[in-house]
Chain A
Amino acid sequence: MTGGGKVGLKHGAGGRAMRALIEEVFLGLASPVDGIGLSALDDGAAIRVGDRWLVITTDSHVVHPIFFPGGDIGRLAVSGTVNDLAMMGATEPLALTCAVILEEGFARDDLVRIRDSMLEASREAGAPIVTGDTKVMGHGEVDGIVLNTAGVALCDRVVTDAGLRVGDRILVTGSVGDHGMAVMVKRHALGIQGDLRSDVAPINGLVRAALLAGGEDVVAMKDPTRGGLASVLHEMAGKAKVGVLLDETAVPVNAEVRAACEVLGIDPLVVANEGKAVIGVRPGAADRVLAALRAHPLGRRAAIVGTAIADRPGQVILDTGLGRRLLAEPDGEPLPRIC
């Protein structure tokens, strides 16, 4: 670990550094389970219960600013956990928990706003919040609010993020970069005008549609949160020991996001999303799954963006339409270029 043995911000940014920290420290907690446990480093765990799977996941949320165009920390916390369950193939969440740590002085009105948006998101997802916990820390001991949610769901078939085979097609369920750019522009007060809105949403319904259409041909799923599409593709390629050829021109990117990224020198492929999934499917099912995604209101801009290949296992080759290069694995939070 770099940084003189101390944890740095990059260790939470979803890239190489974070994976190294988890592998070096937290994998020590792993123990054998009947199913998919910590050592799989997937979106959640799946434990065999009779002839079904109990999928369980947890996620803590910190975001600056707490309210951003398109959502807030409450919507983020519910969507994040619902989506992590869905990425394991569990699209019908049984229940969510909600634990909150508040800083002394936090405005009650803001808390009520956050509660309301949690409620709204949990209704969209069909995921009731059934228990919780509240802690308050002194001024300066925590930054505003930390929100943790955990979720459980049952499913018949678990989809991991390691199932790609050479020839499989890779789909993304919509435009990339919306959440990260909306938050970044607000956070750094960059004064960029335009309709930059987070995509934060529970997408278990969308994923259910893909699974119904693709069945067992849906072989890998992951949500491109921190580290964006680039990070997810590296993880899928690395775990399945295949290469990934990504067609940059096929990746949907909203005009506002593309413009903001160009100005700030940021690659939309490394920017976070909170309402998207990357789905690997067997080649014969790609069109069927794509059609099902596009028929869903949250998947209208779904696209086939890549292919698993035998060359360069563990790496992602980016076809820019003008040439090709390797896509670097994101490392640390993307920062706006100033000059």
Chain B
Amino acid sequence: MASPFDELKFRDPERARALSGALAREVEAAGRTISLMHVCGSHEQAIARFGLRAAFPRNLDVIMGPGCPVCVTDTPEVDEAVALAAQGARVCTYGDMLRLPGNSKSLADAQSDGGNVEVVYSVSQAVDLARQRPAEQVVFFASGFETTAVATAAVLLSGVPENFSVLSAHKYVPAAMDVVSEMKETNIEGFIAAGHAATITGWGIFEPFAARTRTPVVVAGFEPLDVLAAVLELVRLVRARRPEVMNCYPRCVSKEGNGPALEKLWKVFDVVGGNWRGIARVPRGNLELRSEWDHVNARRRFRIDTAAVGGASRNVLAEHCICGTIMSGLAKPSDCTLFGKECRPDAPVGACMVSSEGSCKIWHVYGGPPDLREVA
């Protein structure tokens, strides 16, 4: 019986070989090493899972930047959630956020301390919990880029019970690219933008960035051929010195994006500055609820006492963690002395080993340092 996957045209090895061949010729013709960056855990997953780095030419570097919204969620944000749990609120969040370390505790720790912490699969599930438990305060610790922020916005707009509020740790994708392009020590010549976020924002959002930084951007999907084709187009733009935005994911992404979704997003959220873990203060990095939504904003509604749960207990292992450097694209997971040894998915030291979107976790799951170009 023919499988629907036998015909998955975005995983066709023959077309992949053709693209790899074209890529090798482009990079060779450039006569130097070209470094590209993607800013999305799902791209890293596609690259790692399908072993694409072994299909890239030797002098092409495709680096993962700060593309994991969970990983860049800062310690004080985790502390706020931990404090709310300690203060008696029921804190609901996505599974990836559970083990993310705060100053001294994660939400998983808060849970073992007897706090009410629940993993939910959607914001609506958190709202349902609030409806079922009217006597409790239910706080949704929201994470993710625009794609998930839209879901949070839609739920708020459709009306939530009085005992429901949001603690936003939502991050804004264009900021991730700004951060890296402003780092003097990086040598990134082109960016691969995340296709799913672009389905919401549209690819047009990257045009000012490309013009300002003189760096080309391609919007890419998440199947192996999507990634290969996007990398090839990006190398061509780099070689031609054309700082343009190219949409390599037209089956999902338009220039304008999803109008109704954007309308909902900006009705509820504002772009504000914030600290990204291990990286820097990012001027337009966070999505915070607009002031009209103060009544559902946990930060406005409750006095959150993070001092009570902070308290620096010195974590010797964490001092060796180089997550920040990895997320900035300046080091690889395998450059970290803890990678795969003291730091593993079942006992993560840094944020990048916690989230399934984190580069360390992805490398670990898909076999570690991926460069097999030398193996016969």
CB of B376 within 8 A of CB of A311, answer: yes
- A322 is contacted by which of B2, B11, B369, B375 (Cβ under 8 Å)? B11
Task: Report how far A332 CA is from B344 CA in the complex, Å.
Answer: 13
Contact across chains for B95 and A323 when beta carbons are under 8 A apart = no
- Give chain B residues whose Cβ lies under 8 Å from the Cβ of A254: 3
Known: A325-B367, A328-B365. A339 touches B94 (CB 8 A): yes
B48 beta carbon closer than 8 Å to chain A: yes
B257 within 8 A of A: no
**What's the Cα separation between A88 and B368 when bound, in Å?**
33
Tell me whether A262 is interfacial, beta carbon within 8 Å.
Answer: yes
- Taking CB atoms, residues of chain A closer than 8 Å to B16 are 321-323
A328 touches B368 (CB 8 A): yes
Asked if residues A262 and B50 are in contact (CB atoms below 8 Å), the reply is no
Given A311-B376, A331-B346, A325 contacting B366 (CB threshold 8 A): yes
Which residues of A are found within 8 Å of B368, using beta-carbon distances?
326, 328
Of the listed stretches B51-59, B183-191, B264-272, B294-302, chain A binds B51-59
B11, B54, B55, B224 interface centre (most CB from chain A within 10 Å): B54
Contact mask for chain A residues 324-339; partner B; CB cutoff 8 A; 1 contact, 0 none: 1111100110000111
Q: How far is the CA of A338 from the CA of B125 in the complex (A)?
A: 13
Counting CB contacts under 8 A, is A46 at the interface? no
In whole angstroms, what is the CA distance A328 to B366 when docked?
A: 6
**Which of the 9-residue segments A134-142, A157-165, A312-320 touches chain B?**
A312-320
Given A311-B375, A312-B375, also A2-B50 (CB < 8 A): no
A255:B1 contact, CB within 8 angstroms: yes
A259/B3 contact (C-beta < 8 A), A309-B376, A326-B368, A328-B368 known: yes
Cα distance, A2 to B344, chains bound together (Å): 11
- Contact across chains for A318 and B51 when beta carbons are under 8 A apart: yes
Closest Cβ neighbor of A8 among chain B residues: B346
Which residues of A come within 8 Å of B, CB atoms? 2, 10, 249, 254-255, 258-259, 262, 309, 311-312, 317-328, 331-332, 337-339
Query: Footprint of A on B, CB under 8 Å?
Result: 1-6, 11, 13, 16, 20, 48-55, 94-95, 121-122, 224, 228, 346-347, 356, 364-370, 372, 375-376
A-B contacts, 11 listed (Cβ < 8 Å): A2-B347, A259-B3, A311-B375, A320-B224, A322-B11, A322-B52, A323-B53, A324-B55, A324-B372, A326-B367, A328-B367
